[in-house]
Structure 1
Amino acid sequence: MKTYKQITDEMIQRDCRYLELLSHSFPTIATASTEIINLEAILNLPKGTEHFLADLHGEYEAFQHVLRTASGAIKRKVNEIFENTLRETEKKELCTLIYYPEQKLQLVKDSEEYLEDWYVITLNQLVKVCQNVSSKYTRSKVRKALPEEFSYIIQELLHESSMEPNKQAYINVIISTIIDTNRADDFIVALCNLIQRLTIDSLHILGDIFDRGPGPHVIMDTLCNYHNFDIQWGNHDILWMGAAAGNVCSMANVLRLAMRYGNLSALEDGYGINLLPLATFAMDTYASDPCTLFGPRMDETTSPYNDKTLRLIAQMHKAISVIQFKLEAEIIRRRPEFKMENRLLLHHIDFGRKVFVADGREYEMRDCYFPTVDPSDPYRLTDEEREIVAKLHNSFTHSEKLRKHMKCLFRYGCMYNVCNSNLLFHASMPLNADGTLKEVDILGKKYKGKALLERVGQLIRTAYFADNDNKEKSFALDYLWYLWCGPDSPAFDKSKMATFERYFLVDKETHKEVKGYYYSLRDREDICDMIMDEFGVEGEHRHIINGHVPVKAVKGEKPIKANGKLMVIDGGFSKAYQPETGIAGYTLVYHSRGFQLVQHEPFTSTQKAIEEGQDIKSTTQIVEMSSKRMMVKDTDKGRELMIQIEDLKKLLAAYRMGLIKEKSF
């Protein structure tokens, strides 16, 4: 960084126009100097803690608990602060209070005999925790995070030391007055929420918020109000973005997945999607069909549905699946450039003999009852099916809550992100067999690597935001569906999505979906280095972080690959995947001392977490620890601040040389 003496007249003249603009924000030598001092001080604070999560799949209770606990970071801080001064049970109680202040307070008030003493002790403990988690931020940043009604009081408590005899009485009076004025409950809630907020500086969501679990809308509500986060879109997110943009194939897939996992509430209660037309049609059309293959995949012991409702869901599941196959055929025929003709499968059914015939072979079918499929024109929607599609289109495109959540996804999301020497993307980077970047044709032009992800991101935004007269709008809308299941989609990257085969064909060989080369080659350091070079990722310790493919820990699979250069943090947040993975997800914590990978056991319930202090059982694995603490100056933000300091020094020199006049207001 240049010193004042190294800044020349020529340098100032070259940047004169910019410096004139900058002078409006810092109109005097004093204001420019003060800002330089402030920014230099920030550079020497410890870097904020980053929290990485992937593949949430609607599991809102587990997500919110991981967020509240900061994947164990709060518990770690409580243990450090009160290591020898509190019993384990007391530390556990304090942690539960920080995670769920409103609910835990009610339990304490119902059971605590000496409530006033409890308030005094607890408030002092919370202040100590809050002082600890706020210590890596400037007072200004902490002040902006404070709840308005308690801002002044919290500032006083955070920045006064109880070790000074003259201050202890002052602090005691503040706390006793909070209790005497019956504000203790509200104050405790405010402090606990502040601790949660300050423990995590930024949150990275590596895709797949939607589908399978019951509450993607609850997760989105939480994220839309979160203080600092970004999203790398996953294939399930893109599917919902397609549905919101008006792609009827995406809508059919969204509905099919909702029926498959019995998550009607997310559609009806979460987004106001009207399922009555589909339900009425399914009951009539499949009245004599047991639809046993289409029963929802869910734990019968915890199912909120009775047998009658489960049968209706199965009927709706089959009805929308058949509609989906027909709708997809329309896109496949309309877009030969997608090269997905092999996914046109209905015409291979021999309805007379009830077998599937393809490539000279016959395959036994598990179900061959298709009352809405005309063998002479199998991909034609019936009039009733077409009417249902029209009503669903209206319902999806007019959902206010869905529109709000999509705006949030677009505002804070993209296909990839480079942050502090980490390359984040959800699924894959299309590669050739030799490990080189694969060229993907989009509208007659070839893209690969970084350019491919950026072009895909442009098309997703075009599909949602562009006017109907935009030349790319129609293609972009169809391409959203391709991104869900297309072989060269960086959000999918498999040979096929074997939906039809898994439902209807007995032979399990037909169910296989062959992954793209990335999924095997990413174990190699040279491949990871090549990809990071492509995206301009720099730094001695740089990484790729992915989700998408669940790590089967139960079979010994490891989330750390390529000698630590790549981390896969999809470990099964979705309950549907937990039997395969053996765990309930990974989260990654990147603090000033390095990376920690946290492996979680299945989450029981929020109620048990509150009442019994049951936390998610987690195993923390140190991935990479630094010999020296990482400061803000070592981060992307630090590099931005250094540029700002350089510009301010030029402004300061311009003032002192008289090239720019100080302003008085």
Structure 2
Amino acid sequence: MPYDLEYLKLLSKQYPSVDAVSTEIVNLSAIVLLPKGTEHFLADIHGEHEAFDHVMRNASGVVKRKIDDVFGQTLSEAEKKSLATLVYYPREKLELERGARPPEAMAAWHEAMMLQLVRLCRQAAYKYTRSKVRKAIPAEFQYIIEELLHENEHDTMKHGYYHGILDSLTAIGRAEDFIVAIAELIRKLVVDHLHIIGDIYDRGKGAHLIMDTLRRHHSVDIQWGNHDVLWIGAACGSDVCMADAIRVSLRYANLETLQEGYGLNLSPLVRLALDKYAGGYAPTFQVRSKEESLGETDLALLSRMQKAVAVIQMKLEGQLALRRPELGLDHRRLLEKIDLAAGTVEIDGMVYPLLDMDFPTLDPLKPYELSAEELDVVEKLRLSFKHATDLQKHIRFLVDKGGMYKVFNGNLLYHGGIPLTSTGEFETFELCGQSLKGKALLDGFDDCVRRAYYAQDPDEKSQALDVVWYLWCGEKSPLFGKSKMATFERYFIEAKETHKEVKNHYYAFREAEDVCVRILSEFGLNAETSHIINGHVPVKVVKGEMPIKAGGKLITIDGGLSKAYQKVTGIAGYTLIFNSQGMHLVSHEPFESKDRAIREDLDILPTSVFIEKNQARMLVGDTDNGTVLKKDIEALKALLQAYRDGLIRER
């Protein structure tokens, strides 16, 4: 394509001579011929920090495979396991070794480990340019690691030089710092890019720790799940999102995220629970916890708090349904259907007895009005969420790195689904005055989430926040996609038929290859080579369900990393690995504990579920970044010609 001379003049400021532009053309032309970096896909982490952290550290088995490739039969299986643990948890492993070995033996062990780690790092770095590896090396060891990576320890001419570096590190007391640095470098190199396909929050107790890990990661994107947007709404000022986020956390006795992670002040809610909910409550409000440190008194208080905030949530949900009739949430206005005298509630024309008739803050004439005490609780909690520094940092990261979907290297990533009609067509939804469907609908929802965070106008922000709530639990939400979220019914009604949440037609049609082809085409992708990758609905492996659907066009990777779902799935999560040779889906066994992993060199080595075969080796030039690099090369060639033609002078 012809390039504007003014553009080339701007480009010449970065490449001011023929030599400079020629060097960059050669550099980029070589890079596009390298194998593509390895992408990892994880979904539905749900606060399981220790399991997630281990999967990140062992790169879903990639580190162990590289150890096998490098050391083959030269190390025993026990030695390979010990080396793997050193890569995963270098500081903890070093401390363990110091306690197990006499001081005089540590120097030899340090040198042996440094040699092994350098060889392993060389293998992890082979597909990258020296420049990219250099940028990944910690600054304090950049020269040393570069020298060791690019020298051969077996070269007799440089044997003394090579080992002299290692001996010096030991002599000056930096061997352990070096081991930690190179272990972290290996872990960074084996995963070039990380995709999180939604639902970081809720269930488990370490969502805040997972967010800290993701913020430190060198290259990551996030596709929001409905649990994630719930927390975005809560942090941005949505009272109903805030109440529901607290309710879900209390249901699973997850005070770690609320209090230890984010320092949220729950004392106003505690006072309300003690003052107003001293009576009995339905068994359905009992906390789902196996935490031995929680006694009966603690569990009873958490149950009362859960009920108090659940009633607040249902009042706020009713207010939202009245405020935004266009969202179609009238079926969730259930408090007005309660007959306290009869102890019943009417739903869809049927009358059901209530499991719990203690509603001390409910005014039957004004069922959605918060009592003075509830209003005080909401206002104080909102202030606490607003001023929770770490929460606000995490939500900013979640908004900036996240989206409703992502098209990346020929694959379509989203958490839930694309709303479809009973005939498999894209379903239309009225969003903020526009009739949207397919890609346009997801773009519209994406815009609402960003406006919920960034909008300054109060009315605009309020509308966007209400849409965020809809994304959490709405029938046509791509992140939820069920007829209702039956929170009220599960708490207050015994009849199981009222608990049923009917899935959107998408979840039946995702088995159909023609529908998946239509979805991929809607997002501008070639269905012959592309895949849909999503999570949200656990794959029931124990019942024979497969994660690969529609002839390989769709891959569902919610395999139950969250312990709450492992009885349903029968496994403990999936990782999808996409490297230059194709796609590889692996399943994980349950993770015991970090402490046992370190002390006993335990690992959760994955099991292969699916390998995409007969694919041409994918190079950097075949990726999205490669397309950009090729355009850069063409622009640089145009600048080179402009220098040669005298249109632009060299500096």
TM bin, normalised by shorter chain, reads: over 0.9
Name the residue aligned to 1:248: 239
CA deviations 1:282-308 (Å, max 9, x no partner) are 012111225532121122xx4331221
Residue 461 of structure 2 is aligned to residue 461 of structure 1: no
Change (3 A) 1:38 1:280: same
Compute the displacement of 1:116 (Å). Answer: 2.1
- The answer as to whether partners of 2:41 and 2:194 remain within 8 angstroms in 1 is yes
TM superposition outliers: structure 1 runs of 4+ over 4 Å: none
2:158 pairs, out of 141, 147, 167, with 167
Counterpart code for 2:620: V
Q: Is the 8 A contact 2:582 2:615 kept in 1?
A: no
- Pick from 9, 12, 25: which aligns with 1:23? 12
Q: What does residue 7 of structure 1 align with?
A: none
The match for 2:285 is 294
Listed as ranges, the matches of 1:635-654 within 5 Å are 635-654=623-642
How much does 1:626 deviate? 4.2
Normalised TM-score (structure 1): 0.96
2:267 matched to which residue of 1? 276
Partner residue in 2 for 1:3: none
- Aligned residue runs from structure 1 range 585-600, under 5 A: 585-600=573-588
- Contact in 2 for aligned 1:260/1:297 (Cα 8 Å): yes
Secondary structure of residue in 1 paired with 2:412: strand
Q: Which residue of 2 aligns with 1:121?
A: 112
Alpha-carbon displacement from aligned partner over 1:261-282 (angstroms, at most 9, x marks no partner) = 0001211111121100101110
* Whole-angstrom CA distance in 2 between matches of 1:400 and 1:174: 44
Q: How does 1:203-602 map to 2 (within 5 A)?
A: 203-290=194-281, 292-299=283-290, 302-469=291-458, 472-538=460-526, 540-602=528-590
Contact kept, 8 Å, 1:421 with 1:539, in 2: the verdict is no
Please say if residues 291 and 315 of structure 1, whose CA atoms lie closer than 8 Å, have aligned partners that are also in contact.
no
- SS of the residue corresponding to residue 572 of structure 1 reads coil
User: Is 2:40 the counterpart of 1:58?
Assistant: no
Q: Secondary structure at the match of 1:362?
A: strand
Gaps of 5+ in 2: none
Paired with 2:466 and 2:260, the residues of 1 have a C-alpha distance of 28
SS in structure 1 of the partner of residue 158 of structure 2: helix
Provide closer, same or farther for how the CA distance between residues 409 and 316 of structure 1 changes in structure 2, counting only shifts above 3 A: same
TM-fit CA distance, 1:443: 2.3
Shift of the alpha carbon at 1:627? Answer: 4.3
Q: Which residue of 1 aligns with 2:29?
A: 40
Where 2:420 maps in the other structure, the secondary structure is coil
Between the aligned partners of 2:555 and 2:355, the Cα distance in structure 1 is 39
Conserved? CA contact 2:281–2:356, under 8 Å:
no
Residue range with higher mean Cα deviation, 116-125 or 637-646: 116-125
Q: Could you tell me which runs of 5 or more consecutive residues in structure 1 were left unpaired when the two chains were aligned.
A: 1-10
Kindly indicate whether the alpha-carbon contact (under 8 Å) linking 1:291 and 1:311 is maintained by their aligned counterparts in 2: no
Distance 2:152 2:339 in 1: 82
For 1:369 and 1:290, the matched residues in 2 are separated by 7
1:5-20 alignment, distance < 5 Å: 12=2, 14-20=3-9
Q: Tell me the residue number matched to 1:154.
A: 145
Q: Secondary structure at the match of 2:484?
A: coil
Distance 1:617 1:164, change over 3 A: closer
Displacement after TM superposition at 1:617 (Å): 4.3
Contact 1:47 1:632 in 2 (8 A): yes
- CA 1:142–1:617 in 2, change beyond 3 Å: closer, same or farther? closer
CA distance in 1: counterparts of 2:349 and 2:437, whole angstroms: 36
SS in 1 for 2:133: helix
Aligned residue number for residue 617 of structure 2: 629
Q: Tell me the residue number matched to 2:650.
A: 662
Counterpart for residue 110 of structure 1:
99
Q: Which amino acid aligns with 1:507?
A: A
Partner AA of 2:98 in structure 1: K
CA distance in 2, matches of 1:551, 1:559: 6
Whole-angstrom distance in 1 between the partners of 2:624 and 2:526: 11
One-letter amino acid of the counterpart of residue 557, structure 1: E
The whole-number CA distance in structure 1 between the counterparts of 2:289 and 2:568 is 15
Residue 186 of structure 1 corresponds to 177
Decide whether the 8 Å contact of 2:214 with 2:220 is kept in 1: yes
Would the alpha carbon gap of residues 520 and 179 (structure 1) be closer, same or farther in structure 2, given more than 3 Å must change?
A: same
Give 1:499's aligned amino acid.
T
Query: 2:243 and 2:60 mapped to 1: Cα distance?
Result: 35
User: What is the percent sequence identity of the aligned residues?
Assistant: 52
Deviations 1:143-202 (A, max 9, x none): 111111111100000000123221222211111111121111111001100000011000
Alignment root-mean-square deviation, CA = 1.3
Aligned counterparts of 1:594 and 1:235: Cα–Cα separation in 2:
30
Q: Contact 1:427 / 1:492 at 8 angstroms: preserved in 2? A: yes
Per-residue Cα deviation, 1:512-546 (whole angstroms, up to 9, x for no partner): 00000111101111111111111112374210000
CA drift at 1:467: 0.8
List per-residue Cα deviations over 1:326-354 (Å, max 9, x = no partner). Answer: 01100000111111111111122222222
Q: CA deviation at 1:106?
A: 0.8
CA distance in 2, matches of 1:121, 1:628: 38
1:618 paired residue number: 606
Residue type of the alignment partner of 2:364: P
Q: Could you report, residue by residue, the CA deviation over 1:522-574 in whole angstroms, capped at 9, with x for unpaired residues?
A: 11111111111111123742100001111111111111101111001111111
Alpha-carbon distance in 1 for matches of 2:173, 2:587? 41
Provide the TM-score with structure 2 as the length reference. Answer: 0.98
